[in-house]
Structure 1
Amino acid sequence: MKRLSIALLMSLVGGCANVSVPQLPLMAPAHDPSLSLFDGRYPGPAAGLAEVSPETTSSLFLQHRALGVAPNSVIDGYLNEILAKLQKTLPGTPLASRVYVTPSIEFNAASFKDGGIYVPYRVLEALESEDELAALIAHEYAHVLLQHHQTNWMNSASSLLYSAGKIYIGQRGQKNVSDNELLRMLAINDLSLGASQIGLIPALSRDQEAEADRLGTDLMIRAGYSYVGAHKLLGRLRTWDEQNTARQEALRKDYFQLFSSSDKSMLAGLIDGQVDKLEDQATKLVRQWGRHHDSGDTRIEGLREYIRQHYADADRPMLRVAAYEKVIRSAQARQFFSGLDQAHASSQALMQQNRKAALASARQAERSAAASSPFARHVLINALTVNGQQKDALGRLVTQVTAERALYSDNLLLINVLRNAEPQKALEIAQRSYDNYGEPAELLPDLIALNKQLNRSILVIKFYGICAGKALAATDNALLESCNKAKG
């Protein structure tokens, strides 16, 4: 073998033509450029099968750490019918998925590893055809099919923005909190929900977004939709990015307006220094989001080239405007969207410390088709509380949390309400919340304190160990200090 190697080497150096050297195979491209992304990944005929999941539990609870979802049977049915049409183009049984509407006013749809796809209601209002909506759902479902969330799935939960609402949660049990301080604490809590909603969006790379654009287009064309819908959707990105940036800037300013520099109250003192931290993290998050998203113009040109290459002869059917308007522009849908608008108006009035306006808007949301949204119920509980109707607010809070579809922040509120009078119930809610909502670190001090209160020393040691580990890993001195205080 050694002699053969030497002979080959000498032949190559001497330039002898009679020796044939075997050619090493070149690294094959990840995808054959002559094939569409769909053909390269999903060969075979369409199976005509759909797999719309009844519920995507993990991401649903994660979404409830922010604004939750806004259920509406007609709209939900329509969105998931579109998803089913897209799934039927795939060979074999497709990955399970489900589309939800969220009460977010951001223009940022998202999908997660378990197949959950979350579309803000403001996005639905902004579109004009079923083809655009199909392009949006196809893009997000493409992320699921391509398993783009493998590296950042639950990381998105841990990357939620630092919330001044933590301070609100830690202080609302104080007996010396004034009505004005309570009002501002509730306003801070609502602001933190909006910030957390931004933090939930998974950070995907530009390459992943481009892949999802291509596969999403494959899916919608195969399902009989017009690729013009994808062009129109991408054309809205620039406007949406500008609106999102303005909204995020408004959130930042709202924190500052709630606490003037001359404010010497207990709560203002606790907030001091944390607003800067919030602003810093918000800036980083916006920068990260912008880094992963090309402009609409860039993505449109890339998509046009892809369509020219693979779908030059494809039919371009008329946009399905009538089908879209029948559902999304219906009177029932308008009332639903209006109810969500009123819920946000209540939250905004709370930030402006206008108690009566907050309650009036929350009552309108309660009477609307959006009444079943956990966010609408949340703002009503807050509005009742600051208007002196604490008994009614508490009754609604208990009902909401018991049904296990409350916002995460409402679970935290009830834990603090019950911690002294009914520590066993408070512990049950704290443990359930910790298990369901992705083991959030800010619940650890509660679990330590409540187990200590009930003389469960082994569990105190267990949760303190978890807390110390998380605090050290994240260099979170505030968390470690809170756990030390809870342990005593």
Structure 2
Amino acid sequence: MQRGHQQWRRLVIAAGAAGLLTACQNMPEAKMPNLAALTGPSVAKVGDLPKVDTPQWDDAAEDVNDNRALGYGLVHMPAMEDYLNQLYAKIKQTAEVPDWPGKVYVSSESTLNAHATGAGNIYVNIAVLQSFESEDEIFALLSHEFAHVYLGHQSAFRARLVTESAALLAIGIKTLAKEVNTRGWGSQDNISVATAAANSLILPAWQRSVEEQADLLGATISLRNGYSYASGFKAFLERVADVEQNAAREAQALAQAKRAQAIQARKTGVDKAVGEVGDSISDQVGALLAGAAQDHADAVAREDALSKQVVPLLPSPRPQPRIEPWNRALKEKRNAEVLAHYALFPRIDQLLAANKPRDALKLARTAASGATAGDGTAVAYLYNAMQKGGVNRNEQLKALQRNQAWPQRSWAVQMMIATSLAGSDKPRARAFLDQQYADFGRAQRTTPDVIGFYMTINDAQGAKQMAVACSLANPRYRAVCLDRAQTDAERRAAQAQSEARSKAIADQALEKIKF
């Protein structure tokens, strides 16, 4: 009986929320502000090169170590990096900041992406090298990423201006006040909802706004260097659009599958009614978020808006694509071997999934040879194939240890070595990981892994001490550091507390719903 009463309360609350969302949809649309303007200099149109102050740079060594701890780390491709850094030097020269620090590195990440950091560094995923077709396109990507550095976007994001500043919190509250009739809703409720709006609406809006700014400045730099727009920025944005559309389709398919599972799990009539109302709320929330995002273009709209500005500025005849320099860089002996070996990884995954470990192992040995003999991703694949193929543990460990003498060491591989050692010698494993932690400059991204490792070797005290220090010194990783220092029992207790808070909020909401 008590369970049925609680379900009925949930249904009432859900119905009230659905009505509130319906009211939101009937309200006039609120125009989001120019969020990029809140974070520093901005670009009004293609051709503009605003004057900026020299930033306070992040520590370069710490930045590189932090990216060595992302995925399987960085890829050792010295000839490719030399080529990319020549292009980067040209970009800085065009922006009249030739002495600014920063280098281009190749990341092992398999997504079609790149990112710039507050140290002035640009990390280009190897998937980009496998996909791009001209120097025009890679120059467009580097110009776009440099624009983030030049306009100070990393500093703004790192400072959490978007989600934590009073100005943006006020924007969130003002926007909600225009869109939602909050009769019976207190100030604490407004702040909580506004914070959620900042994370779900304002942050994505800011991100889109700065992407548009980077497009404008990046295109300016690209055009000043005589690169082809059609083969450069336009091709680059079309690739981004393809990625976005594929991701949207995958997300939609996943959401539909999850909803189907949830519907199947609904047993009672009240469960079904609550679920249907919840589904309606989810649909309406999605529509509201999509509507709020319409003022901030996706890649298709970005390309269209940029083309309208760029095309009238193009010279006649238009520049021809620079394909040969790019192909020459790709065909350099070591670069070509690295790219060929990275192209084997999907096939290795397929063979392992098809329960063909011997074939996978043969291919993994090829992938972890020559120019990638100690590469982080390559030795990790080899280690996995060895495990599945029944190779003895000493040989498995030796495969991982190749990375220790490699020019670009991988933090993930060091963690794999420590975990392997811990199976037979916990003190040795602890000493090994502590040394690696020091060698990687105690980079912020590595700290949660060390905390979790301490827990696995039963050093809860050391883990909790490190977690407290991390939470004070490293806000970006505060939550994950504290979580890694918890036992399963502590996680269950925290979950119970969270559920109790949710119930209290639901009770308060029920009191505020007026029939």
Shorter chain as normaliser: what TM range?
0.5 to 0.7
Compute the displacement of 1:375 (Å). Answer: 0.5
Deviations 1:277-307, CA, capped at 9 Å, x for gaps: xxxxxxx9xx99x969843331122212333
Equivalent in the alignment of 1:444:
451
**Distance of aligned partners of 1:336 and 1:397 in 2 relative to their CA distance in 1, 3 Å threshold:** closer
SS in 1 for 2:146: helix
- 1:236 and 2:236 are equivalent in the alignment: no
Residue 48 (structure 2) pairs with residue 37 (structure 1): yes
Give the CA deviation at 1:422.
5.2
Tell which has more relative contact order, 1 or 2 (C-alpha 8 A, sep 6+): 2
Count residues in correspondence. 366
From 295, 305, 320, the counterpart of 1:302:
305
Q: Deviations along 1:408-431, whole A, 9 cap, x unmatched? A: 332222222333525155244144
Q: Where does residue 102 of structure 1 map in the other structure?
A: 107
How do residues 105-120 of structure 1 correspond to structure 2 at under 5 angstroms?
105-120=110-125
* Displacement after TM superposition at 1:384 (Å): 1.9
Partner of residue 398 from structure 1, selected from 398, 401, 404: 401
Q: Is the 8 A contact 2:81 2:104 kept in 1?
A: yes
Pair 1:318-2:317 in alignment: no
Q: CA deviation at 1:138?
A: 0.6
Rate the CA distance shift 1:301–1:462 in 2: closer, same or farther, 3 A.
same
Identical-pair percentage: 21
Matched with 1:421 is 425
SS of residue in 2 equivalent to 1:110: strand
Contact 2:91 2:143 in 1 (8 A): yes
2:153 matches 1:148: yes
SS in 2 for 1:150: helix
**Alignment match, 2:264:** none
Q: Could you say if the C-alpha distance between residues 146 and 371 of structure 1 is closer, same or farther in structure 2, counting changes exceeding 3 Å?
A: farther
C-alpha distance in structure 2 between counterparts of 1:297 and 1:464, whole Å: 43
User: What is the RMSD of the two structures over their aligned residues, measured on CA atoms?
Assistant: 4.5
**How far 1:308 sits from its partner (Å)?**
5.5
Report deviation, 1:90.
2.5
CA distance in 2, matches of 1:440, 1:331: 37
SS at match of 1:213: helix
Q: In 2 relative to 1, CA 140–372 (structure 1 residues): closer, same or farther, beyond 3 Å?
A: farther
Match of 2:383 in 1: 381
- Counterpart contact for 2:46–2:219, Cα < 8 Å: no
For structure 2, the 5+ residue unaligned runs are 1-36, 161-202, 256-285, 491-515
After alignment, is 374-383 or 57-66 more displaced?
57-66
**Counterpart for residue 31 of structure 2:** none
Question: How far apart are the structure 2 equivalents of 1:30 and 1:467?
Answer: 33
Task: Report the TM-score when normalising by structure 1.
Answer: 0.62
Greater shift in the superposed pair: 313-322 or 77-86? 313-322
Residue 329 to residue 421, structure 1, CA distance change in 2 (3 Å) = closer
CA distance in 2, matches of 1:468, 1:35: 42
Residue 130 of structure 1 deviates from its aligned partner by: 0.9
Q: Please name the residue that 1:481 is paired with.
A: 486
Structure 2 CA distance for partners of 1:206 and 1:468, relative to 1, 3 Å: closer
Residue of 432, 435, 442 corresponding to 1:435: 442
2:222 corresponds in structure 1 to 220
How many Å separate the matches in 2 of 1:121 and 1:130?
15
Aligned partner of 1:356 in structure 2 is: 358
Separation of aligned partners in 2, 1:134 and 1:149: 20
Q: Is the 8 A contact 2:42 2:151 kept in 1?
A: no
Q: Give, in whole Å, the separation in 1 of the partners of 2:431 and 2:425.
A: 12
Aligned to 2:497: none
Cα distance in 2 for partners of 1:298, 1:315 equals 26
SS at match of 1:37: coil
Deviation of 1:211 after TM superposition, in Å, equals 0.6
Note the C-alpha offset of 1:247.
7.7
Aligned amino acid, residue 367 of structure 1:
S
Is 1:127 the counterpart of 2:132? The answer is yes
Does the aligned pair in 2 maintain the 1:60–1:116 contact within 8 Å? Answer: no
Rounded Cα–Cα distance in structure 1 between residues aligned with 2:250 and 2:65? 24
Map of 1:3 onto structure 2: none
Cα 1:478–1:129 change in 2 (3 A) is: closer
- Read off the aligned partner of 1:104 and give its amino acid letter: E
Alpha-carbon displacement from aligned partner over 1:185-216 (angstroms, at most 9, x marks no partner): xxxxxxxxxxxxxxxxx976111001100111
